[in-house]
Chains A and B, each alone.
Chain A
Amino acid sequence: MIRDITIGQYYPTDSILHRLDPRVKLIGTLLFIVSLFLFHSFLGYIAVTIFLFSIIKISKVPFRFIIRGMKAILILLLFTVFFNLFLTPGETIFKLGFINITKEGIKSAGFMAIRLTYLILGSSLMTFTTTPNQLTDGLEKLMRPLNRIKVPVHEIAMMMSIALRFIPILLEETDKIMKAQMARGADFESGGILKRAKSLIPLLIPLFVSAFRRANDLAMAMEARCYRGGDGRTKMKPLKYSGRDFAAYLVLCAYVVAVISMRMLEKRIG
């Protein structure tokens, strides 16, 4: 089941998007997400749609792979649409018992659906094209100014990359403990929610104990390799902007200009 979730996975191919500096992609994703919430008419989403789908094309990530990731948030999406559809007050179009669908409801449900879908598409596209390490490196470098107000930027990035390293190990361990407990008669599948939650205790306690032990070991191993925080540390793979990154920034600027002018156009019409 865990294997089906493609959100947050890296999809290894060679595209321009894959080779871009992670900082460009982080800023680009942020701008894209902001742009999603600017519009109030479907017209505005034309620019967003064109941008998103041309980026997907450039990324060389197969569309089916991306769609598979969307399945995981389908329920969330349906919930949002459902609540917007039924609970928005306004001009009634359709009424059946307590169900009251309004014109405004349909509109806002439609917008929410588009926004959520695009939001997930856009941000998962970033993780598809960026390795976790590049991502943490990019975040570290972008957040560097926060160091001045005493935010431990390097430490946060280090924690993130260690977490990423240990996710598969802990998953494997969970599986192992689960099988061991099942072999001794533990039942993780039957019963109501409460019973199932209770049955997780013999799984979670050994898992936590082992995670703490691993953390202790790792901390010792890191100290033994002279790790002493971010000061005075050099990088094996330092981030450097190249020509294509500046080109990508130009494209982003063009996108922002396009979005803003669409927004102004929308205001004049609407």
Chain B
Amino acid sequence: MDRDMIEVKKLVHEYIRRDEDGNVESINRAIDNVNFSVKKGDFVAILGANGSGKSTLAKHINAILHPTEGSIWVNGLNTAEENNIWDIRQTAGMVFQNPDNQIVATVVEEDVGFGPENLGVPTDEIWERVEQSLEAVGMLEYRTQSPNKLSGGQKQRVAIAGIMAMKPQCIVLDEPTAMLDPNGRKEVISTVRELNKKEKVTVLLITHHMDEVTFADKVIVMEHGKIVMQGTPRDIFSRVDEIKQYRLDVPQVTELAFELSKAGLALPEGILTIDELVDSLIKLKQSNIDKAK
């Protein structure tokens, strides 16, 4: 049976705060009965405003956190079992938000080699993998430089290469663009997209930038630890009012199209790109001209 890459079943996670005597002071339910699955090779995006529980969810997939209730299966491995932890972390690599705080070494290529070193990969193969992964993220020419001299986007690509060198089947990116400028964001997103297409790596991208995920296979929207919307980007983004209610923005083009159709233009729902909007506007004009004739 071909199992899904990630299966999350009835997941609950509670942050429990205790006082000095160990009595429970407060319980914060960060994830509340979440169910979803990610198919192999898919590009899935999880959206949510601050405090919606999306980062907590990401840490579960890498077995950094353990479920309070329910279970998570990564490529058929249960994250709750201690013996599976290292296999899971190798299967599902994780890229974090702050590019500085996840680079270990003082030279780019040594940092990319860090993961394979931990896995006990033989020296010759480490060099091969480092070269391949730096090539895959387009950072090969910076291999002997110090990470301190790179831009945020470049650092984040090095971090992605560091994960790729471990040959994962799945990458979880926890707001990888939150600390980057617009150029850096584009760089990182197109790199991830490329890896998903060319290397067939399953991608789970966590973000609150809507315009980064218009090409995703599936979008999941979270709010207060619950999944509130789930579907294709077109599905999700056609429900502009609902999305706004979850403190999220829709892509600018989508919002413009939404406002235009509210004002009476007969535009299709869920327009995601500028080209689509232009096309449908031209079509609209054409049909108006035809009618006038």
| Chain A residues engaging chain B, CB cutoff 8 angstroms | 131-133, 161-162, 164-165, 168-169, 214, 217-218, 220-228, 232-238
Whether B121 contacts A221 by the Cβ 8 Å rule is no
- Tell me which of A162, A214, A225 has the highest count of chain B C-beta atoms within 10 A of its own C-beta: A225
A131 and B146 CA atoms in complex are apart in Å by 12
Contacts of A133 in B (CB 8 A): 105-107, 110
A221 and B93 CA atoms in complex are apart in Å by 10
Whether B104 contacts A162 by the Cβ 8 Å rule is yes
Interface residues of B in 72-120 (CB under 8 A from A): 86, 89-90, 93-94, 96, 98, 100-107, 109-110, 113-120
Which of A161, A168, A235 has a CB less than 8 Å from the CB of B123? Answer: A235
Which secondary structure dominates where chain A touches chain B?
Answer: helix
Whether B163 contacts A233 by the Cβ 8 Å rule is no
- Tell me which of A131, A224, A233, A238 has the highest count of chain B C-beta atoms within 10 A of its own C-beta: A224
- Tell me which of A217, A223, A226 has the highest count of chain B C-beta atoms within 10 A of its own C-beta: A226
Which of A162, A227, A237 has a CB less than 8 Å from the CB of B110? Answer: A237
Contacts of B162 in A (CB 8 A): 225
Interface residues of B in 99-149 (CB under 8 A from A): 100-107, 109-110, 113-123, 126-127, 130, 147-148
Contacts of B98 in A (CB 8 A): 214, 217
Contacts of B207 in A (CB 8 A): none
A-B contact sample (20 more), CB < 8 A, given A217-B102, A225-B163, A233-B120: A133-B110, A165-B105, A165-B147, A169-B100, A218-B104, A220-B64, A223-B64, A223-B89, A225-B166, A226-B119, A227-B114, A227-B118, A234-B120, A234-B126, A235-B117, A236-B109, A236-B113, A236-B116, A236-B130, A238-B123
Which of B64, B93, B103, B127 has a CB less than 8 Å from the CB of A236? Answer: B127
Contacts of A217 in B (CB 8 A): 96, 98, 101-102
Contacts of A235 in B (CB 8 A): 117, 123
B214 in the interface (beta carbon within 8 A): no
Contacts of A232 in B (CB 8 A): 120
A232 and B117 CA atoms in complex are apart in Å by 9
B87 nearest CB across to chain A (Å)? 9
Contacts of B100 in A (CB 8 A): 169, 214
B73 nearest CB across to chain A (Å)? 18
Which secondary structure dominates where chain B touches chain A?
Answer: helix
A164 and B107 CA atoms in complex are apart in Å by 11
B62 in the interface (beta carbon within 8 A): yes
B27 nearest CB across to chain A (Å)? 22
Whether B110 contacts A234 by the Cβ 8 Å rule is no
Interface size on B, residues (CB 8 A): 39
B113 nearest CB across to chain A (Å)? 4
Which of B106, B109, B147 has a CB less than 8 Å from the CB of A132? Answer: B106
Whether A218 contacts B102 by the Cβ 8 Å rule is yes
A220 and B172 CA atoms in complex are apart in Å by 14
Whether A226 contacts B126 by the Cβ 8 Å rule is no
Which of B62, B106, B117, B120 has a CB less than 8 Å from the CB of A224? Answer: B62
A232 and B120 CA atoms in complex are apart in Å by 6
Contacts of A218 in B (CB 8 A): 101-102, 104
Contacts of B117 in A (CB 8 A): 233-236
A132 and B106 CA atoms in complex are apart in Å by 9
Contacts of B96 in A (CB 8 A): 217, 220-221, 224
- Identify the closest chain B residue to A158 (Cβ): B104
Which of A132, A164, A165, A233 has a CB less than 8 Å from the CB of B103? Answer: A165
A217 and B98 CA atoms in complex are apart in Å by 8
A15 and B93 CA atoms in complex are apart in Å by 40
Contacts of B106 in A (CB 8 A): 131-133, 161, 164-165
A214 and B103 CA atoms in complex are apart in Å by 11
- Identify the closest chain B residue to A132 (Cβ): B106
5 contacts between A and B (CB under 8 A): A133-B106, A161-B105, A223-B64, A224-B62, A226-B115
A78 nearest CB across to chain B (Å)? 35
Whether B105 contacts A226 by the Cβ 8 Å rule is no
B86 nearest CB across to chain A (Å)? 6
B69 nearest CB across to chain A (Å)? 23
Which 5 residue pairs of A and B lie closest in terms of their CB atoms, listed nearest first? A221-B102, A236-B113, A217-B101, A224-B94, A226-B118
B166 nearest CB across to chain A (Å)? 7
B60 nearest CB across to chain A (Å)? 12
- Identify the closest chain A residue to B130 (Cβ): A236
A131 and B118 CA atoms in complex are apart in Å by 22
- Whether A234 contacts B122 in the complex (CB less than 8 A), given A217-B98, A223-B64, comes out as yes
A44 and B120 CA atoms in complex are apart in Å by 50
Contacts of A132 in B (CB 8 A): 106
A218 and B123 CA atoms in complex are apart in Å by 24
- Identify the closest chain A residue to B111 (Cβ): A165
Contacts of A224 in B (CB 8 A): 62, 64, 89, 93-94, 96
Which of B104, B123, B130 has a CB less than 8 Å from the CB of A165? Answer: B104
A261 and B191 CA atoms in complex are apart in Å by 65
